[in-house]
Structure 1
C-alpha cells in the first residue's frame, strides 16, 4: 500500500480538489474494518492501542493493550461467536457501558457478523423491538458487576436471543451469581473465549460490501430506526477523518462517548487504527460521570491527550473547572452533534486557549461529513464537506438545487451514504430500505442549511423534529405516545426547548378533555414514568386549548418551538428585572428571538445571557 496515495495533503480547504483528482478506489483502503485492525497490528504490534480507565477516581491506574494484543483478543472473541453459529449475515447485539472487553467485542462482532450496539438506557420494550428488528442471535451485555441495570434489562429481553455473553469491569476477573434465563445459554465472554484461536479468524473474512453494523438512530416516528453500515462505508469515513490534520500517529485520542454512539465507534475506535494511534478510554460512564470533570485536566497531562471529541454540553462543563495541569499536548477539541452556543465557545477558549473545532455528520452518512480547519476559521459554518462526499442544498418543495447562500434542505451523496434502514427480515436476510431517505443516491439529511461560495456548510436548524439533548437524539413521538396514554390527554406535541447546558431539553404541549381534572404537574410526573428513557422525559408540560395545525390539518410544531423559545429566554432574562418583551418569530423554518428591553438595562449582561443559547436573536431597542 503506497502511503503517498493513502495520505494526500489535507491541511487546508484548498486541498480538496487535489485529493479528489485521485479516485478513492486508487488509494488502497483496507477491505474491511477487520483488515484495518490487522493492518495496524502488523505495522505497530508493540505500540499501545488502548488505555482504558476502570473508574474516574482511579484514572492513573489503567489497563492497556498493544495492537497485537487487541487483535488477539478480537480473534478469540470472533472465533467464539463463529463457533456459536454467527455467520456473515447474523447480528450480534451489544449493550454495556464502555469497558475494555466491549471495545474488543464490538470489533469482533464486525469480524464474525454484524455489530448491533444498543443504548442500555432505553426501555425494555424498546430494546426488545430493536433486538427483533436486528434479528440478533447473541446479546453481549454487562454482567451484574459492571452494570446491574443493564444485566436486569438483558434478563428481560434475553428470550429474543440464543445466548447472552457477559462483560466484566475493566481489569477485574470477578464473577457474580447469575440468574438463569429460560432456554438461553449464559456465560462470561472472556472465559468462554479463552481457549479460542488468537492467531486468525476461523470464518470467512468480511468484504467491502458486507454489512458491518446496525446503528440505531432517532426518527420522527415511534419505531426505532436501524441504519445499516457496510464495511466500505466505515473504512471510507474513517480514512477521511484520519487523512485530516486532526489525526496523526503522535497524537493520543481521548474517548468518552458510549460505544452505541456512532461518534465513539468511528472517531475514537476505527479512525485511530489508520495511524496506529493510542486511544485513552474513559471509565464506563464517560462524560456522564461527574467525577471525570474535576480530574480531566490531570488526565490530559498524564496521558498527553492531543485530540478529543465531545458535544457542546461537555465543553460547557469543562470550562467551569480551572486548568490545574499542563495541557499543552491538547491540540484539537472537536465538537458536533448539536448547535454550539457562542458562550460555550468563548468560555472554553478563555479557559484553555483552544478554539473548538466544529464538525457535522449523521448516522445515515456513517458519521462525519464536514470538518473545520482550526487555523482557518469560518464563522457560522460547521465545516467544508469531506473528500469524496458531495453536498447539495435542495428546495424543500421542488427538490431543485438552491443557489449559493439560499437556504434549503441539505443532501449528501458519496461512499459514506448508508445501505438503508433495516425495515424487516426474512429467514435468511435483512430487508433494507432507503427509499424515504435516499433519492438517486442523495441522502436527505432533514437539516436546513446553505452553502457559501467556498462550499462551507452553514446550518440553519432542522427540518426534522428530533430533539437533540447534549448530542443525544430524542424521538419526540416517544414523549407524545406516553402522554397520549393518559386518559385526559387528547393531543400531544413534544419539541426542544433551548437550554444553555444541553443545547435543548424536551418539553411537551397537550390538549386535554374539557371535563378532565388534570394539571400540568401531574402530566410531568406521568410522562417521567412512561417515557421510554429518562433523558427524554419532558421538563415541562403545557396545557393548551388546541394544538396548532398546518393549513392541511397536520400538526405544526414550529409554533410550539417558538413558544418554548420565548419561555426559555424570558425565564433566563428575568434575573435582570422585569419589562422585557420577547417575540419568538418563525423565519425560514427556524425560530429567532426579537428582544425589547426596558430602559436602563445592562446591555452587556443581557448579551451574556442570550449568547448561552443557540438561538438567533435581535435587540430591537
Structure 2
C-alpha cells in the first residue's frame, strides 16, 4: 500500500507510520456501501446511465426546507448582523410569495446581483424554490457587462443591492424583458423599483415575519435551476445552464472528500457537527454557492460574510468568531500566511483551509499545515461542472501537493488527445474531460458552443492534465496558457510553482511573449512578499537550477500589487500581457 510519492525527499511531507491505512478503492467501497450516507444509484440523465448520490437533496427547494430544522442556530454573520436559519427561511418564504405575486414561475429567469449579504441566500432560494432559474451576476461587472447578462438570459426580474442598481438603472431602458427590480440596502425605493426591506424588512426583522410555507411548486431533479456565467477571461461570458441535480450533487461531493481523510488514517469519520465558516469568495461564483453555501444549509453551518476581503480583518474574525474553515482560492491562504499581524491572532479554532478555482503552489500546501496549523484541502471543478469534481484534504493533499485530488465517487475523468478522438494512457498529458451528475446541461442559447463543449455527457474542460495510476488528477495548464517555445511545451504552472518556492515570491504568473524564430518565449510577472527583495537575475537563476533551460523566463518584471484575477481566482493573463508590454517600454 505504498502510496507516498518520493516521501522524505527534500521539502516534501513525510507520512506518519502506517499511513495510508486504507487504499482509495477501499475507502470508496466503505463510504458508498448500501445504507451508507454516500450510497450511489444509477439513473438516466438525458438517456445516459449516470452514477448519482442516492441521498442527495432532490432540489434546492428541498435544501431550504431542510434548513428549517436548524431553527435558531446562526446561519449568517455579517458585520454586526446575526441571522438565524429560522429567520432566513421566513424571509425566503416571504420573498418567494412576493415573486409569485409578480407572476414569476417555473422556467422564468431572475437575476441576482448582490455583494455577499444575508439577503443573497434568501433571494437565491426564493427564486429556485419556485422553479424559476436564478441568474447570479458578477458583482464586479460594469453596467455594460451586467446589461449583457441580463439581456442574454432574458431575465424578467432583478434583485440587486444599491451599488449594482446604480449601474443598472442607466441601461434598464435597453432591457425590455426586465419587468421588475427589487433593490436592497438603499434608503428609499427608487423610481421603477421596489425596496427589498419594504417587502421582508431588515435582517433584524426577519424573525418576526409570518411562519409560513413556500408557495407550491413541483420540481424534479432534472429541472433547470441556475445560469452561472463563465469567468469570461476571453470574449463574452457564456451562461452555463445547471439543474437542481447538478447543484445538489455538491452537497455530498464536498463531504465525501472530508469523510475520506479519517479512513485513510485508520479512523472513523466523526459525527457531523455545525462549523463556523469564513466564506469570503463571491457567492455569484459556483465555488462559493454550489460547493459551499448550498451544502452549509443542509449541515447547519454558520457562515461569516465580509464586506470586502481584507486579510488583517479576516485574521481578527477567525479569532473572534472561532472560525473553523476558510479559503476559497489560493490567494486568500497566501495573504493570511504572509500577513505581518498573523501571530497576534488566536487561530487555534482553524481546522481546514481549502480552495479550488486556481492551481496552488505545492509550497502553499505545506505552509498551511505548518504555518496555520490547519489541514489543507483542494479540489477542481469549473462553472460547467457546478464546482466539485475532484478533491482531497489533509494527508492525501500533503502527499500529493501538486494534485487537485481524485474524482469523487460519482464522477469520471479521462484524458484525451488534442482532437478528442483518442483516450490517452495513465501519465500522459492531454485535455481533461469530466462526466457525472454535476456536469451542466448546456450553454444558455449557445447551441454551437454547447455542441463543442458538452459531448455525450462529457464536458471538455480546456485544461491540460494527467492522471496517475490511482486516479489522482494533476492540472498542468490551461490549453490556451501553455507556452510553446520552438516546439517545446512549457506548462506555465510548472514554472510558476518553482517561482513560488522562492522565499521572496508571493504571487507569480508565466505568460508567452512572441518571438520571431521560436514562436514564443516564457516571461514572468512577479509580486514579492512585503519586506522581501529579489532581482530578475536571481529568479532566473533560481528557475534554471530546478528546470530545463528552455523553461527559464527570458524576462521577469515586478509588480507592487497582487496579480489581477477574476472572481474564480484565475489570473487574467491577457491583462498581464498588456502590463508586461507597458512595463518593458
Structure 1 pair 577–420 and aligned structure 2 pair: CA distance change class (3 A): closer
Structure 1 pair 592–108 and aligned structure 2 pair: CA distance change class (3 A): farther
Structure 1 pair 395–275 and aligned structure 2 pair: CA distance change class (3 A): same
Partner of 2:391: 371
Gaps of 5+ in 1: 1-9, 55-60, 169-173, 425-430, 468-494, 510-543, 550-558, 597-612, 614-621
Structure 1 pair 464–368 and aligned structure 2 pair: CA distance change class (3 A): farther
Give the deviation of 1:101 after TM superposition. Answer: 1.4
Give the deviation of 1:303 after TM superposition. Answer: 2.1
Q: 1:324 and 2:324 equivalent?
A: no
Superposition pairs of residues 57-72 of structure 1, within 5 angstroms: 61-65=80-84, 67-72=85-90
Equivalent of residue 98 in structure 1, options 97, 116, 121: 116
3-state DSSP of counterpart to 1:253: strand
Instruction: Kindly indicate whether the alpha-carbon contact (under 8 Å) linking 2:512 and 2:523 is maintained by their aligned counterparts in 1.
Output: no
Give the deviation of 1:369 after TM superposition. Answer: 0.8
Cα deviations by residue, 1:68-107 (Å, 9 ceiling, x for unpaired): 2211111111111111111111111111211111221122
Gaps of 5+ in 2: 1-20, 34-38, 42-51, 202-207, 260-270, 484-491, 556-570, 572-585
Q: 1:444 and 2:460 equivalent?
A: yes
Q: 1:162 and 2:189 equivalent?
A: no
Superposition pairs of residues 111-260 of structure 1, within 5 angstroms: 111-112=129-130, 113-143=132-162, 147=163, 150-159=164-173, 160=175, 161-168=178-185, 175-176=187-188, 178=190, 180=191, 185-193=192-200, 198-219=211-232, 222-245=235-258, 248-260=272-284
Instruction: Kindly indicate whether the alpha-carbon contact (under 8 Å) linking 1:11 and 1:244 is maintained by their aligned counterparts in 2.
Output: no
Equivalent of residue 306 in structure 2, options 263, 266, 283: 283
Partner of 1:51: 76
TM-score by length of 1: 0.69
Equivalent of residue 523 in structure 2, options 560, 564, 568: 564
3-state DSSP of counterpart to 1:212: strand
CA distance in 2, matches of 1:381, 1:362: 16
3-state DSSP of counterpart to 1:375: helix
Give the deviation of 1:337 after TM superposition. Answer: 1.4
Superposition pairs of residues 219-618 of structure 1, within 5 angstroms: 219=232, 222-245=235-258, 248-280=272-304, 282-285=305-308, 287=309, 290=310, 293-321=311-339, 322-376=342-396, 377-379=398-400, 380-423=402-445, 434-464=450-480, 500-504=505-509, 559=520, 562-565=521-524, 574=535, 592-593=551-552
CA distance in 2, matches of 1:11, 1:432: 45
CA distance in 2, matches of 1:383, 1:88: 37
Equivalent of residue 39 in structure 1, options 35, 48, 66: 66
Structure 1 pair 464–227 and aligned structure 2 pair: CA distance change class (3 A): farther
TM-score by length of 2: 0.72
CA distance in 2, matches of 1:230, 1:177: 34
Equivalent of residue 15 in structure 1, options 9, 12, 27: 27
CA distance in 2, matches of 1:71, 1:579: 56
Partner of 1:30: 57
Structure 1 pair 582–566 and aligned structure 2 pair: CA distance change class (3 A): farther
Partner of 2:103: 85
**What is the Cα-based RMSD across aligned positions, in Å?**
3.7
Instruction: Kindly indicate whether the alpha-carbon contact (under 8 Å) linking 1:448 and 1:460 is maintained by their aligned counterparts in 2.
Output: yes
CA distance in 2, matches of 1:306, 1:200: 32
3-state DSSP of counterpart to 2:434: strand
Structure 1 pair 139–582 and aligned structure 2 pair: CA distance change class (3 A): same
3-state DSSP of counterpart to 2:159: strand
Give the deviation of 1:373 after TM superposition. Answer: 3.0
CA distance in 1, matches of 2:294, 2:324: 17
Instruction: Kindly indicate whether the alpha-carbon contact (under 8 Å) linking 2:146 and 2:168 is maintained by their aligned counterparts in 1.
Output: no
Cα deviations by residue, 1:185-207 (Å, 9 ceiling, x for unpaired): 31112312469965122241432
CA distance in 2, matches of 1:327, 1:318: 11
CA distance in 1, matches of 2:57, 2:478: 35
| 343-352 vs 129-138, greater mean Cα deviation | 343-352
Partner of 1:475: none
Cα deviations by residue, 1:96-144 (Å, 9 ceiling, x for unpaired): 211111221122121221110111322322221111111101111112x
Instruction: Kindly indicate whether the alpha-carbon contact (under 8 Å) linking 2:507 and 2:526 is maintained by their aligned counterparts in 1.
Output: no
Give the deviation of 1:548 after TM superposition. Answer: 8.7
CA distance in 1, matches of 2:525, 2:250: 39
